[in-house]
Amino acid sequence: MDADDVTLIDTLHNIATTLRIDSVRSTTAAGSGHPSSCCSAAEIVATLFFAEMRFDPRRPGEPRNDRFVLSKGHAAPLLYAAWAAAGLFDRAELLTLREIGSDLEGHPTPRLSFVDVATGSLGQGICVGVGMALNARRIGSDYRTFVLIGDGESAEGSVWESAEVAAHERLDNLCVIVDVNALGQSRATALGHDMEAMAARWRGFGWHAIVVDGHDIAALIRSFEQARQTTGRPTVILARTIKGKGISFIEGRNGWHGRPLKSGEEEQRGLAELDAQFVEVPGGRDRKPAIRPPAGRAVAAEEAPRPIEPPAYTLGQQVATREAYGTALAKLGTSDPRVVALDADVGNSTFSEKFEAAHPERFYENFIAEQSMVGAAMGLASRGAIPFPSTFACFLTRAYDFIRMAAISNLNVKLAGSHAGVSIGEDGPSQMGLEDLAMMRAQPTMTVLYPCDAVSTERVLVEAAYHAGPAYIRTTRPKTPVIYANEERFPIGGCKVLRRSDGDEATIVAAGITVYEALKAYDALQRSGIAVRVIDAYSVKPIDERTIRAAGRETGGWILTVEDHYVGGGLGDAVSEVVGPDGIRVRRLGIREIPRSGKAEELLDRFGISASHIVEAVMGLRDLRGQP
Amino acid sequence: MDADDVTLIDTLHNIATTLRIDSVRSTTAAGSGHPSSCCSAAEIVATLFFAEMRFDPRRPGEPRNDRFVLSKGHAAPLLYAAWAAAGLFDRAELLTLREIGSDLEGHPTPRLSFVDVATGSLGQGICVGVGMALNARRIGSDYRTFVLIGDGESAEGSVWESAEVAAHERLDNLCVIVDVNALGQSRATALGHDMEAMAARWRGFGWHAIVVDGHDIAALIRSFEQARQTTGRPTVILARTIKGKGISFIEGRNGWHGRPLKSGEEEQRGLAELDAQFVEVPGGRDRKPAIRPPAGRAVAAEEAPRPIEPPAYTLGQQVATREAYGTALAKLGTSDPRVVALDADVGNSTFSEKFEAAHPERFYENFIAEQSMVGAAMGLASRGAIPFPSTFACFLTRAYDFIRMAAISNLNVKLAGSHAGVSIGEDGPSQMGLEDLAMMRAQPTMTVLYPCDAVSTERVLVEAAYHAGPAYIRTTRPKTPVIYANEERFPIGGCKVLRRSDGDEATIVAAGITVYEALKAYDALQRSGIAVRVIDAYSVKPIDERTIRAAGRETGGWILTVEDHYVGGGLGDAVSEVVGPDGIRVRRLGIREIPRSGKAEELLDRFGISASHIVEAVMGLRDLRGQP
């Protein structure tokens, strides 16, 4: 090692010390936070930012920049200190950590220009990193993706889901660093500092694994170089570290997770210890190496989307909305190169296989790993793609924590869940999506769409694609007839009034498969001389408040909702929410118990959402009319 | 191998052939199902049932029986055929598969006496199996637990979460068999038949891994024996198999997943091929070896729970409900040996550490692996324990698919989520549970409890423990004053009317932290001469319909709900659901956007659920009164 190297290493050492000092000071000022989790990774982050990553620190969003994901989001103060050190903002701002007026939140969120995806739910960063690495391939960029994860969070299964996908995709532009500080929140991790056991796991999953002392900057530099030169597979750097490193009284001690140093004597003692660790370098302790600029190929601006052809169905044609979803997605993929699809080994059921056939280079198979699928979609979306991850609606429950974080990050992830409700029939309750509307509707940034026919499916898919933020499209297994003309539009927040007259006695609000039951009920009621209004609420969230409130008022103050979903959290609640302040009465039909196997029609009837139940409910409303 | 062995193997071979025939016949009769996935595992199941497992086939629930979990639940026809072959029910019943009147559903559910936990969402069986194996240790039983998983489902991260926990717990009473048929639903699996790659993964996770030909019965027998003799760690048997084995035209072919043979020529051809595979044994093709009876130690009946002491708090005492939860759980553990606690490395935040300190032998650490935690709780519950898995409310989203399956199985899993809502403060949105009420309330068998003080927390915890079925308890991070006397009771489905007068102009329904905001608002309104009713809806589901409807009617038809939760799916919806048919007007205060870091009080106010917002909303209702 020549003199320059010695200087570089000493300089990086001083930067790491500064990052530690800033992490301690900001968390003590905030009165909460995780300084010990910052201290273990200080050399890793200093080396990455100032000796390995290529990026423009003044333009964190620059497409050619290498990406850094802090999966162990509780080490946020370290991340913030690194960007301050890189010159993006003033170091003094670090002391606003966790204040309500500051974007330097307790865990990183995309309110900050240098955070692509919110972290703080452990085990998600690697999944997101896989998406970013896939995106580099999609746009033909050389940028590399670095993800810093904790050893504790490696217990999350999502880490291993994405480890498999990354190896399968041969993502040599992805480098994961594990900060192996051997301590979780409440106790030692399962593997402690058994570095070889950890390496065996990663190698078992097909990764190039390097074991290194995470406080040895020269070794870290060599490891990153090895990672860069490794082709055909991703690299994991297993960095053996000490939690609380640099502060003698917290180093390697349990009980210091998520605990700042107390203001006053304790903080001063810690800071004094850290201060003593600076070494002399030419230029002084604030000297910083020049950050390596992005040097990858300039990436062409993404091709503007071409207009998509309108749907091409005929009225009455029998098409499952899940199949119309696949057809529409393949079409959209042709018109817009940003559109990508992700599967979890059910592409032949969700019909995302149609996209795969048309655009194999933008189709990402995650095998049976829904967390990895949604996480990769988050990473792709954060870098400009418009990803459509799809599986059975019920299995999106597997990825709810990822969906939650995608909603927090307001990412352009367009989720699709097929096989909604009891109408799937014989496969039984484990395969029925019956809580998907509830879980999606709860997320404030989420748009929820539930088309009933092929035309509306194609239309809402395009609406979802170009709506800013996350969206969910719910589709049905059985075939349903096309009821809308190809020219019909389905804006987000709208609904379709399918039947109406001045003498309507009640409003039936349906969506998806129950639209057909409502129309059958309408016919039956009509034969008995009873008029009702029928609304297709294809936009469950936002729901068409104006039209539904007006309909409720115009039909005697009665609304009946009908949904192939559990009664809690779905369409009935969505309608109740908007008419609640009006005193309009809402009765709801939905699934009220655990369903079972059977034929679709049998189940719709047995679980209370068929046309005959709607007729009966309308008759019941009639009997009640006038009662308080 | 002596003559007897040859006869045993031939006999098992014939049983496997019979299982294949039954799987083909039942799925063809049903017109749907997964015969190819049954065929690959026929020898594994035949050998397990008739040469390895010790159980009483007439009493599947017998506590000393070995347990079998079919994690690849789509192979249900094989499971059903095995129990028919074991003599539990008539083979002719198999032809009712998937009919609405039959309990032989598309995927196994506990409607069947021999199914402990519903399967069909892949990757859950091993987690459940870990719980069953832990339960054997808890009750001092020798029973062993066998879990059959698919190679495709091994992509689910939950498999690796539980692999880690099982090795850490040294569960040598657990044996996982992987049916490596190399084909998923839509394509080949990532690893195909690379058995050594798979073995490396399992060995990396600390398991004893055996690679075997899954159609070689003698080899399977030896593998099970090896597993039985392995101590200190669990065993995985990686069985190389052919999907569709035994039927030449589907063997190893993609495109045959979830596809029955067509009735008529196709079925006949398949059955003829299988029929030709029977071999001559003394006694004929229906000969079966005697099933090995349970031989483990007789387990003493579980000790009856002793009465639990009432809560011992003083009015006004400041106690966080999360801490009261830990205190109550430790107490309950003392009075009832069936009570166990499971953690995901946050026991010092959820205060389940109090249970750990008191009952370390019944505390199961899952590290940062929520799916494993809830899955193990499901297995424990299915065998008589009363498990309390707990973590931050937001991280239960990680296990929502498991919670869904626990609800389908109506298991006695008592979930607890701490750190609910924006009131956690500085950690920011990633750590705030804001959709937990929505996701729990959607599940029809779930009870949802949300106490506001230490006394009600202790009371509802005991109620939850002895309520049949899954329950969820939501707790709060900051300290709140005790407002209830220790004698007060909190039955499921009740509520507490905290303030009332004949002149009440509106009803405020609150729960948890917002009860205190509602009480502050009450005082402020009182000072302005406005009387309101205040209700603590500690039982969010079932909600006290009678009391809340009556209150609504008595207070001018106006209800205001206030919750530290997103507005969709929570308390507002729960109240709307029960008053919807009455025309009572409901206004809701809740979180309507992604929150951020800040102090608890700042956040309650900024996001619209503080006392001042309640006062303002009541004034708003007043202005509206009389309007339509």
What per-residue confidence (pLDDT) applies to B295? 80
Cα nearest neighbour of A577 on chain B: B573
Q: What ipTM is given for this predicted complex?
A: 0.97
Q: Looking at the complex, report in whole angstroms how far the Cα of residue B162 sits from the nearest Cα belonging to chain A.
A: 9
Q: Give the confidence band of B123 by pLDDT, cuts at 50, 70, 90.
A: very high
Question: B600 CB contacts (<8 Å, ≥6 apart)?
Answer: B422, B423, B424, B425, B477, B478
What's the CA gap between A621 and A238, in Å, rounded?
A: 66
What is the residue type of A484? Y
What per-residue confidence (pLDDT) applies to A3? 56
Does the CB of B554 have a partner CB in chain A at under 8 Å? no
Tell me: pLDDT of B628 over 50. no
Q: Do B120 and A439 touch (CB under 8 A)?
A: no
3-state secondary structure A175-188: EEEEEECCECCCCE
B210 — phi, psi (to 5°)?
Answer: -120, 130
What's the CA dihedral at A84, A88, A94, A98 to 10 degrees?
A: -130
CB pairs under 8 A between A and B: 375
Over residues B482-521, the pLDDT tens digits come to: 999 999 999 999 999 999 999 999 999 999 999 999 999 9
Over residues A294-304, the pLDDT tens digits come to: 987 767 667 77
Q: Do A431 and B119 touch (CB under 8 A)?
A: no
Average pLDDT of the residues of chain A: 96
What per-residue confidence (pLDDT) applies to A267? 98
Nearest to residue A11, comparing CAs of A246, A214, A282? Answer: A282
Average pLDDT, stretch B94-122?
A: 98
Give percent above pLDDT 70 in chain B: 98
Cα nearest neighbour of A154 on chain B: B368
Average pLDDT, stretch B218-246?
A: 98
Is residue A445 a contact partner of residue A472, using CB atoms and an 8 Å limit? no
Of B158, B408, B573, the CB nearest to A429: B408
What per-residue confidence (pLDDT) applies to B303? 74
**Which chain A positions have a beta carbon within 8 Å of B581's beta carbon?**
585-587, 624
Q: Full-prediction pTM beyond 0.95?
A: yes
**Concatenated DSSP letters for B219-277?**
HHHHHHHHHHH--SS-EEEEEE--TTTT-TTTTT-TT-TT-PPPTTHHHHHHHHHHHTT
Does the CB of B159 have a partner CB in chain A at under 8 Å? yes
Nearest to residue B129, comparing CAs of B70, B199, B209, B82? Answer: B70
Gyration radius of chain B over CA positions: 28
Average pLDDT of the residues of chain B: 96
Query: How crowded is the C-beta side of A378, counted as CA atoms within 13 Å?
Result: 32
B271 — phi, psi (to 5°)?
Answer: -65, -35
Q: Looking at the complex, report in whole angstroms how far the Cα of residue A269 sits from the nearest Cα belonging to chain B.
A: 25
- For B360-373, b/e burial (b = at least 16 CB within 10 A) is eebbbbbbbbbbbb
Quickly tell me which residue has 């979180």 as its tokens: B591
Q: Do B366 and A592 touch (CB under 8 A)?
A: no
Average pLDDT, stretch B297-303?
A: 71
Does the CB of A569 have a partner CB in chain B at under 8 Å? yes
Evaluated on CA atoms A266, A269, A273, A274, the torsion sign reads positive
Nearest to residue B118, comparing CAs of A597, A57, A87, A289? Answer: A597
Active-site annotation holds for A370: yes
What does each C-alpha distance from B540 to A177, B506, B546, B587 come to in angstroms? 43, 20, 13, 17
What per-residue confidence (pLDDT) applies to B304? 77
Over residues B125-154, the pLDDT tens digits come to: 999 999 999 999 999 999 999 999 999 999
Q: Looking at the complex, report in whole angstroms how far the Cα of residue B30 sits from the nearest Cα belonging to chain A.
A: 8
Tell me: pLDDT of B627 over 60. no
What per-residue confidence (pLDDT) applies to B302? 73
What per-residue confidence (pLDDT) applies to A51? 97
Tell me: pLDDT of B299 over 80. no
Nearest to residue B83, comparing CAs of B102, B64, B68, B105? Answer: B68
3-state secondary structure B415-451: EEEECECHHHCCCCHHHCECCHHHHHHHCCCCEEECC
Does the CB of A153 have a partner CB in chain B at under 8 Å? yes
- For B163-180, b/e burial (b = at least 16 CB within 10 A) is bbbbbbbebbbbbbbbbb
Tell me: pLDDT of B211 over 50. yes
Instruction: Compute CA B457 distance to the chain's CA centroid, rounded to the nearest angstrom.
Output: 22
Q: Do A98 and B161 touch (CB under 8 A)?
A: no
Of B105, B401, B431, the CB nearest to A397: B401
In B, residues 476-535, which contact A (CB 8 Å cutoff)? none
What is the residue type of A534? V
In A, residues 71-110, which contact B (CB 8 Å cutoff)? 73, 98-100, 102, 105-107, 109
Does the CB of B295 have a partner CB in chain A at under 8 Å? no
Select the residue from B186, B402, B609 to test the A interface by mutation, using most A Cβ atoms within 10 A.
B186
Q: Looking at the complex, report in whole angstroms how far the Cα of residue B428 sits from the nearest Cα belonging to chain A.
A: 5
Is residue A492 a contact partner of residue A447, using CB atoms and an 8 Å limit? yes
Does the CB of A319 have a partner CB in chain B at under 8 Å? no
- Pairing label, strands B533-536, B496-499: antiparallel
Q: Give the confidence band of A2 by pLDDT, cuts at 50, 70, 90.
A: low
More confident residue, A246 or A580: A246
Give percent above pLDDT 90 in chain B: 95
More confident residue, A242 or A299: A242
Identify the DSSP state of A433: B
Q: Looking at the complex, report in whole angstroms how far the Cα of residue B525 sits from the nearest Cα belonging to chain A.
A: 21
Q: Looking at the complex, report in whole angstroms how far the Cα of residue B298 sits from the nearest Cα belonging to chain A.
A: 33
Of B157, B345, B347, the CB nearest to A152: B345
Q: Do B395 and A401 touch (CB under 8 A)?
A: yes
Tell me: pLDDT of A628 over 70. no
Lowest pLDDT segment from A420-424, A581-585, B60-64: A581-585
Q: Do B442 and A102 touch (CB under 8 A)?
A: no
Average pLDDT, stretch A244-269?
A: 96
Query: How crowded is the C-beta side of A536, counted as CA atoms within 13 Å?
Result: 23
The two three-digit tokens of residue A502, written as one number: 């001045």
Tell me: pLDDT of A341 over 80. yes
Q: Do B597 and A100 touch (CB under 8 A)?
A: yes
Identify the DSSP state of B458: H
Q: Give the confidence band of B581 by pLDDT, cuts at 50, 70, 90.
A: confident
Over residues A433-450, the pLDDT tens digits come to: 999 999 999 999 999 999
Over residues A357-377, the pLDDT tens digits come to: 999 999 999 999 999 999 999
Q: Give the confidence band of B183 by pLDDT, cuts at 50, 70, 90.
A: very high
Cα nearest neighbour of A151 on chain B: B368
Over residues A280-296, the pLDDT tens digits come to: 999 999 999 999 999 87
Active site residue: A169, A370, A435, A517, which one? A370
In A, residues 14-53, which contact B (CB 8 Å cutoff)? 30-33
The two three-digit tokens of residue B597, written as one number: 């870091």
The two three-digit tokens of residue B111, written as one number: 């409607």
What's the CA gap between A294 and A297, in Å, rounded?
A: 9
Q: Give the confidence band of A165 by pLDDT, cuts at 50, 70, 90.
A: very high
Active site residue: B370, B458, B463, B563, which one? B370
Is residue A138 a contact partner of residue A103, using CB atoms and an 8 Å limit? no
Instruction: Compute CA A210 distance to the chain's CA centroid, rounded to the nearest angstrom.
Output: 29
Does the CB of B545 have a partner CB in chain A at under 8 Å? no
Does the CB of B111 have a partner CB in chain A at under 8 Å? yes
What's the CA gap between B558 and A583, in Å, rounded?
A: 9
Over residues B397-427, the pLDDT tens digits come to: 999 999 999 999 999 999 999 999 999 999 9
A500: burial class by Cβ within 10 Å (0-12, 13-18, 19+)?
middle
Q: Do B439 and A441 touch (CB under 8 A)?
A: no
3-state secondary structure B496-543: EEEECCCCCCCEEEECCHHHHHHHHHHHHHHHCCCCCEEEECCEEECC
Evaluated on CA atoms B330, B334, B339, B340, the torsion sign reads positive
What's the CA gap between B48 and B228, in Å, rounded?
A: 12
Is residue B513 a contact partner of residue B487, using CB atoms and an 8 Å limit? no
Cα nearest neighbour of B74 on chain A: A427
Q: Give the confidence band of B3 by pLDDT, cuts at 50, 70, 90.
A: low
- For B249-266, b/e burial (b = at least 16 CB within 10 A) is ebbbeeebbbebbeeeeb
More confident residue, B445 or B304: B445
Strand order in the sheet with B539-541: B363-365, B339-343, B386-392, B414-418, B471-474, B447-449, B539-541
